Amino acid sequence: MKYLTFATTLLMTLAAHSAALAGMAVTLKPSIIVQNDEVTFGDVFEGAGEKTDYVIATAPAPGKKMVFKASSLAYVARKHGLDWRPNRTVHRITVNRSGVRIPEQQILEELRFALETELQTDQFELSLSTQHPNIQVSLEEEPTIAVESLSYSKRGSNFVAVLVAPAHSNAARQYKLTGKLHRQTLVPVVSRFMEAGEEIGEKDLDYKLIRVSKVGRNTLTNINDIVGKSPRRAIRAGTSLSLNNLGDPVTVPKGKLVSVVFKKGGISLAVTGRALEPGAEGDIIRIENIASRKVIQAQILNSEEVRIITAGQRLANLQQ
């Protein structure tokens, strides 16, 4: 009986020793998401027991991921007394770090403030080389960002910025962003829809920031060159004015009845005519004689009178 008890005890001891050598059986979690700065056995396995809080790696940055080779993870697990073996279909284990994404608008505002301070002007647009930058902080951190350093080309339009998130934190992570500056200038624009021939006053003008690269050679930028003039063609609100589409205000609109005068020597004649096109004072336009339906060339004297122009007179006017 004594020998039977000893044998039973020995078998139980050996079984316990074998179980210890085999390790504690654990199960791989189907989805591995960490929130802290470290990856533990408890993040990766179900049933890790006293090894739950054991750190096996540094976690990726918030919003990022890291990949373990399944064979390497199995080796580390067995080394620390956990029994897990990957099946043939599992080769890599992905660990994702949760985070809070900082809105793109918040990033642009911080960049713009830094650039305005550096350039001492707010007359520019900026665009990022990377659309929708993915800058995240952990769930425990403040979703803030700050510009740590900034460099730009004075002759060109490129800039490089180093940002940190969270802002003013000892654990802040750096992010490098590049982009372009588009310098702007204030250009006068009409504040309302204007018909051709309407005289432009100061009350009809507003200012709009336009990229310098988009300001045409004939675009008018001085208000003194605009006030008192009129568009040759109708123009929409918010549109800049071009030298090619600006002239004197219409004195005689198309279709108006005017007095057509002819003077030569002591002879003076006057007939009624209809303007076939609009024109300003001094312009030569086509006039239809109401009585004869004949079309003649006449120079606008004022809003009520035009005078017949001969071929010789037209040439003289062009040479003045």
Question: For the residues of the chain, what is the DSSP string, one character each?
Answer: -HHHHHHHHHHHHHHHHHHHHH-EE-EE-SS-EE-SSEEEHHHHEE--GGGTT-EEEEPPPTT-EEEEEHHHHHHHHHHTTEE----TT--EEEEEE--EEPPHHHHHHHHHHHHHHHHT---EEEEESSSS---EE-TTS----EEEEEEE-SSSSEEEEEEEESTT-TT-EEEEEEEEEEEEEEEEEESS-B-TTPPP-GGGEEEEEEEGGG--TTB---GGGTTT-EESS-B-TT-B-BGGGEEPPPSB-TT-EEEEEEEETTEEEEEEEEESS-B-TT-EEEEEETTT--EEEEEE-SSSEEEE--HHHHHHHHH-
Same domain, 242 and 280: no
Residue 294 in domain? yes
pLDDT value at residue 263: 83
pLDDT band at 311 (very low <50, low <70, confident <90, very high): low
Q: What is the pTM of this model?
A: 0.64
Answer for the pair 298, 285: CB distance below 8 angstroms, yes or no: yes
Average pLDDT over residues 214-226: 92
Q: What is the pLDDT of residues 149-198, one digit of tens each?
A: 999 887 778 999 999 999 989 889 999 999 999 999 999 999 999 988 88
Q: Of 98, 128, 152, which residue is a domain's last? A: 98
The CATH code of the domain that includes 75 is 2.60.480
Residue 93 in domain? yes
In the chain, the number of structural domains is 4
pLDDT value at residue 159: 94
Domain that holds residue 47: 2-98
Residue 309 in domain? yes
Q: Of 98, 132, 160, which residue is a domain's last? A: 98
Q: What is the pLDDT of residues 65-124, one digit of tens each?
A: 999 999 999 999 999 999 999 988 889 999 999 999 999 999 999 999 999 999 899 999
pLDDT value at residue 12: 45
Report the Cα–Cα distance between both ends of the chain, in Å, rounded.
141
pLDDT band at 313 (very low <50, low <70, confident <90, very high): low
Same domain, 89 and 18: yes
Same domain, 210 and 167: no
The CATH code of the domain that includes 273 is 2.30.30.760
Same domain, 179 and 189: no
Q: What is the pLDDT of residues 8-60, one digit of tens each?
A: 443 444 344 444 445 789 999 999 999 999 999 999 999 999 999 999 999 99
Average pLDDT over residues 225-244: 91
Beta-carbon contacts of 234 under 8 Å, excluding residues fewer than 6 positions away, are 193, 194, 195, 196
Closest CA to 309 of 295, 250, 267, 291: 295
Q: Of 247, 270, 295, which residue is a domain's last? A: 247
pLDDT value at residue 265: 76
The values of phi and psi at residue 285, to 5°, are -130, 170
Residue 72 in domain? yes
